[in-house]
A and B are shown apart, each in its own frame.
Chain A
Amino acid sequence: MQKRIYGIETEYGIIFTPEGRKTLPVEKAIRFLFEKLITTEHFLNVFLENGARFYQDTGCHPEYATPECASPKQLIIYDQAGERILEDLQQYAEEKIREERIPGKLSIFKNNTDFVGNSYGCHENYLVDRDVDFYYLAEQLIPFLVTRQIYTGAGKVFQTQDGVHYCISQRAQHIYQKISGTTTNDRSIINTRDEPHADREKYRRLHVIVGDSNMSEYTNFIKVGTCSVVLQMIEDNYINKDFTLRNPVKAIKDITYDVTCKRKIRLDNGREYSPIEIQMEYCEMAQKYIEQYPVDDEHKQAVGMWQYVLDCLRDDPNKLDRQVDWVIKRKLIESYIDRHGTSWNDPKVFMMDLQYHDIQRKRSLYHLLERNGAVERLFDDADVEIAKTEPPPDTRARMRGEFIKLARENSIQYDLDWSNIRLGNLLNVRVICNNPFETDTEKVAELVRTIQKTNLRKTSLSKLVIQS
């Protein structure tokens, strides 16, 4: 599939730290985040003007799901727009809580773990052809997903009985299965959830739940860009090598503990390769693939960056201290330890690990580096700013975003999900849009006009279903 729909769901960590005696349980704190979002939809579950969904998920985490995006770059811009939207809401909520006379700090982190063994996810979604055999696709993809953490990991300070370690990935320790249907226990590399939010005859959803949430836009882009190229190669039956791992779940943990990225892992055929070597093999195939098959510039660029990070990793991972989250963070912590003559056991070190991921830019260590030009950028802040309120122009999200704006301007009652719009005072008019590539905003504008004409807000039509 050359044209694909992409999405990322990010679950954020949240904590309220009181400054006085009065405190606020997180269940209550999180409600303040949603207060600013006025809508006729359910509280704690809303769609935003940019087409994204923002809701409270399992375990009281605020979760942002990007709108349907048409390319990896666009996806990362919308993922970042989510951080900025949440930052606005966090500021507003903190203020509101203060007005309730509960002074304190509301912190939100774009990471995937606390320090006592709980994890929350960052899920990537790729729309794939229904014709491709899912288990074939998953088996082909797993060795890639297990080893890619060497350039996609967000880094983690981790305490065990024998001391403090630095792991490459936040999420790797929380993976117990290759493929499974659940996301909250027995977490897997690939989840079988098949909700394409589109024509099921044509598409299925590939739900990758093994990734870390990334702060670095460079890391975030190569994470999705490379996976997208590999998917395309699998769909085209291009991968002619077998990297099936003897024990992928063990391998993912072995790799995360090895910051040299060179320790060998065993393949099913008995051979042993380092994660760099396995990634090199995939990357080499991709280099040839993009010469022979129609691949857009963005994906070619992703392959170029992929080669670059692998070359650096082979020489010395520290070379990626501007590009890859786990390296950026580790270098920062090491510099801090050096300067203060302290050690990895220092609570400040654990705090740095956490505060790197703060979404409030004034507090975030990642953003401190970004302000100082110490990390690579791919996008302009202006692009992210636009993406906070404007939906992607080339997917179904455009219709949803346009509808939300019109409905609000005209005070029309509505309720939404990914492929349905319900409106009218009894929510009795339903528009189904099963094609995630459709962008016909005229259809929603027409609908809003019809409703105004018939004054549906006051009288109720009998049930009306419009198939888009």
Chain B
Amino acid sequence: MSKNTQMSNRQPIHGDADPVRVFLAAGSEQKQKQKGGGGADSGESSQGGEKIAKKGETIKEDMDSLLDEIDSVLEENAEEFVKNYVQRGGE
């Protein structure tokens, strides 16, 4: 009997509440739709032209700050690094 108790102490890890399992069971169908995975861009086309132009500006700004960040992390000695990056063939 004591064996069983011992075991049951470990159960919660794999019980029904296991987050990986719960996540998988729930699926992310809804999330998908929101994120345009199923092709849900329909709302945007009905926006006014002004809004779209504004959106375009924001995207450009976002891209600019992204590129700034890239400049700061991109390997400085790119030429040297790329030249030295020689791998042996794997499988």
A residues sitting closer than 8 Å to B (CB atoms) are: 11, 13-15, 17, 57-61, 63, 71, 73-74, 77, 113-116, 118-121, 123, 183-185, 209, 218, 297-298, 301, 304-305, 307-308, 311-312, 322-323, 332, 335-336, 339, 347-348, 350-352, 354-355, 362-363, 365, 368-369, 372, 374, 376-380, 382-383, 386-387, 390, 392-394, 398, 402, 439, 441-442, 445-446, 449
Contacts and interface: CB of A to CB of B under 8 A. Distances in A.
A77 B20 CA distance: 9
A445 B66 CA distance: 51
A383 B20 contact: yes
Given A218-B37, A374-B66, A378-B32, A58 B90 contact: yes
A391 to B, nearest CB: 8
Contacts of B63: 335
B6 to A, nearest CB: 8
Task: Tell me if B's interface is mostly helix, strand, loop or mixed.
Answer: helix
B73 A114 contact: no
Given A301-B29, A365-B70, A441 B91 contact: no
B73 A363 contact: yes
Contacts of B85: 13, 15, 114-115, 354
B38 A304 contact: yes
A297 B29 contact: yes
B81 A13 contact: no
Contacts of B13: 390
Contacts of A362: 73
Contacts, number: 169
A31 B55 CA distance: 50
A113 B24 CA distance: 33
B51 interface: no
Given A58-B91, A335-B67, A386 B14 contact: no
Contact of A372 (B66, B74, B84, B86): B66
A267 to B, nearest CB: 29
Contact of A308 (B7, B23, B38, B74): B38
Contact of A118 (B20, B38, B78, B86): B86
Interface of B: 3, 6-7, 10, 13-14, 18-21, 23-24, 27-29, 31-32, 35-39, 62-67, 69-70, 73-75, 78-79, 81-82, 84-91
B77 to A, nearest CB: 8
Given A308-B38, A376-B35, A390-B20, A298 B27 contact: yes
A254 B69 CA distance: 35
B86 A116 contact: yes
A332 B90 CA distance: 28
B87 A347 contact: no
Contacts of A185: 89
B81 A57 contact: no
Nearest to A296: B27
B81 A368 contact: no
B31 A17 contact: no
Given A60-B88, A305-B37, A347-B78, A441 B14 contact: yes
Contacts of B28: 301, 378-379
A61 B75 contact: no
A393 B37 contact: no
Nearest to B23: A383
A308 B39 contact: yes
Contacts of B87: 13-15, 59, 61, 113-114, 118, 120
Contact of B74 (A71, A351, A449): A351
B84 A354 contact: no
Contacts of B79: 347
A380 B23 contact: yes
A166 B39 CA distance: 27
A107 B23 CA distance: 32
B40 to A, nearest CB: 9
Given A354-B81, A378-B31, A392-B20, 6 more contacts: A74-B20, A322-B36, A348-B78, A351-B82, A376-B35, A393-B14
Contacts of B21: 393-394
A123 B91 contact: yes
A368 B67 contact: no
B73 A121 contact: no
A121 B90 contact: yes
A113 B78 CA distance: 17
Given A74-B20, A387-B20, A17 B81 contact: yes
